[in-house]
Amino acid sequence: MAEYGEWNRKGATLSDVTAQKEYGVKRDFIIKGIRAGKLEYRQGAIWGNPYLRVLRRQLEKYIAEELGPSRLARTKKQTELRKINKEIAGLKKKLAEVKARKAEIEKSMGK
């Protein structure tokens, strides 16, 4: 059972599509968990496209039970690594922009 306010907490829920990307599970796996009573869900739709929202805590517990804790840990680490690489790429781009601006200013100052 969900804790009080858990559905409204930032990061506590995720859609079935996001779960597929982050944890590498199929939609059928999520539906199987819902039917088994292991996962609570809410239905939603964006621009007419339906999706399922599930609680992250329950999904992680279900994945650990069904696929093993090592699989859960590995996929969580892969997801974190992907986020870090994306952040690094963004910072490199920003650094290049700042260096270009610095060079422009120095050139206009006559250095």
Read off the pLDDT band of 10 (50, 70, 90): very high
| 13 lies in the same domain as 63 | yes
Read off the pLDDT band of 49 (50, 70, 90): very high
What is the reported pLDDT for 5?
82
| 46 lies in the same domain as 86 | no
State the residue range of the domain holding 76. Answer: 72-111
Our count of domains for the chain comes to 2
CATH code for the domain of 23: 1.10.10
Last residue of a domain, one of 67, 83, 103: 67
| 53 lies in the same domain as 86 | no
What is the reported pLDDT for 111?
64
Q: In what order do the strands lie in the sheet with 49-55?
A: 13-15, 49-55, 41-46
The average pLDDT across 44-54 equals 93
Query: pLDDT of 55-111, one tens digit each?
Result: 999 999 999 999 999 999 999 999 999 999 999 999 999 999 999 999 999 999 886
